[in-house]
Chain A
Amino acid sequence: MSYSGWRVIKEALSGHKGWKPAWRDPVPASDYDFVIIGGGGHGLATAYYLAREYRAKRIAVIEKGWIGGGNVGRNTTIIRSNYLLDGNEPFYEFSLKLWEGLEQDFNYNAMVSQRGILNLIHSDAQRDAFTRRGNAMILNGADAEMLSVEQIRQRYPFLNFNNARFPIKGGLAQHRGGTVRHDAVAWGYARGADRLGVDIIQNCEVTGFRIKGGICSGVETTRGFIGAKKVGCAVAGSSGRLMAQAGMRLPIESHVLQAFVTEGLKPVLPGVVTFGAGHFYVSQSDKGGLVFGGDLDGYNSYAQRGNLPTVEDVCEGGMALMPAIGRARLLRMWGGIMDMSMDGSPIIDKTHIDGLYFNGGWCYGGFKATPASGWCFAHLLATDKPHEVATAYRFDRFKRGYMIDEKGQGAQPNLH
């Protein structure tokens, strides 16, 4: 059943009796060609592109809870492709182009809103760095524009331009960036995959891998053994826990990142704004709440909740950038668990075990990467070769000295 305006009118006139569940609830088969572990954005996107772009059949997505209940439902919904390095920028630009056509592609309203993202500049050194970044973006086919203080003032008059310590000197804008309704991304991919015959199996936790002689032949789950020719793991946030069951250590630490929403306000903030002096970024959801976040708490955690010092730190960043935010009351805050990798960049690669593939290490950039991550992981699973925009995301890059370290922090995951 396709969704459309006509369909809504027809259903409205007939008492909304024709709507069907958006995906099936199948019993797992005994074996599949492809089993994707993790029913989040990346896992569902992987299944969707495997079925649609690579014409694969017999695909299952296994999720321990309900789909979209992990990080795809816990992020701050921003999409952008404003990266600097060659290993990253083509990938994220590919992702942004996929976002632009996504809703038509999977016939689902994901509320993709290209309202623009603005990275503020507070010093001359930062202007140089952002000019370089903007040029790198343009060279890779993305859009970037340096804005003057006056241009920013027109669009965001309420920012604290004359902060004595960190005055706003300009900004790097990506007008094609924006926000997306995060849950709808999971639901849209799930529905799209289901319509292509993918089995989405919820409440089915992987408890182990069946590995013999260096070959993975399936997964043990709470609903029994499920055989698979190829197993793809897309469980960022829990990668350490899952891959430990295959005896693997990863170049990843799990950290908690908090996010915040204020009470609903009338439209005040037209785009996404990031503070260049502290770590703070903010946008306004379509419901009206100001959605914002900042730094990691900074210590290993799987707890999905953080501590108050970070709350204070993030809110101080907000007050420094946008003093009016102090009049809004904080409605909700929550924590999500990030796969923080050793260079701040992700991994989409085969493992040393035949038939076992890994997608993770997304740090806090996983949401915007969802379409490209799914596409590239599907490409790897289907062809055993990395997709051309994901060739740098290999396990062995640390050993070979090819880190993709946007911030230049070194192997200190809580600083990326």
Chain B
Amino acid sequence: MIINHPLLGPRDAQEFTYLGDANLINRPDWQAEDAVDQFHEYLYQRDNPAGKHRELWYHEAGDRSWLVVTRDTLTHEITGVELARDVALKSGRGK
């Protein structure tokens, strides 16, 4: 698989390590009333779709950026690559 890095261009997937579903960016609020339930969902439960999947890849053997890759789990086709930082900021993190 070739991951088209937004800053570095096409890179072999071997340079990356895989973490999982991009929802892992959205860490729950630890002070919420139901924080235990929320963290259980966050840490252990997965949508695990057959089809389009947004997922976190880490460019370990490269610039060490975290990427959000949109990939089809049925065909391995990659249709989108974003910097995880941009995704996080867009969703309101860092405010």
Contact = CB atoms under 8 A, between A and B. Distances in A.
B49 interface: yes
A414 B48 contact: no
Nearest to A400: B40
Contact of B73 (A251, A254, A411): A254
Contacts of B75: 303
Given A254-B50, A398-B43, A414-B18, 9 more contacts: A240-B49, A241-B50, A249-B45, A253-B21, A253-B48, A299-B13, A309-B13, A399-B44, A413-B20
Contact of A398 (B1, B44, B71, B73): B44
B61 interface: no
Interface residues of A, number: 25
B46 A251 contact: yes
Contacts of A240: 46-50
Nearest to A341: B44
Contacts of A398: 40, 43-44
B64 interface: no
A251 B55 CA distance: 16
Contacts, number: 72
Contacts of A298: 17-18
A342 B44 contact: yes
Contacts of B17: 298
B79 interface: no
Majority DSSP secondary structure for residues of B touching A:
mixed
Given A300-B73, A301-B76, A411 B44 contact: yes
Interface of A: 238, 240-241, 244, 249-254, 298-303, 307, 309, 342, 398-399, 411-414
Contact of A411 (B14, B43, B48): B43
* Closest 6 pairs between A and B when the two form their complex, measured CB to CB: A240-B48, A398-B44, A249-B45, A251-B44, A302-B50, A299-B18
Contacts of A303: 73-76
24 contacts: A244-B47, A249-B48, A250-B46, A251-B44, A251-B46, A254-B48, A298-B17, A298-B18, A299-B13, A299-B71, A300-B21, A300-B48, A300-B55, A301-B73, A301-B76, A303-B76, A307-B13, A307-B76, A309-B12, A309-B13, A342-B43, A398-B43, A399-B40, A414-B18
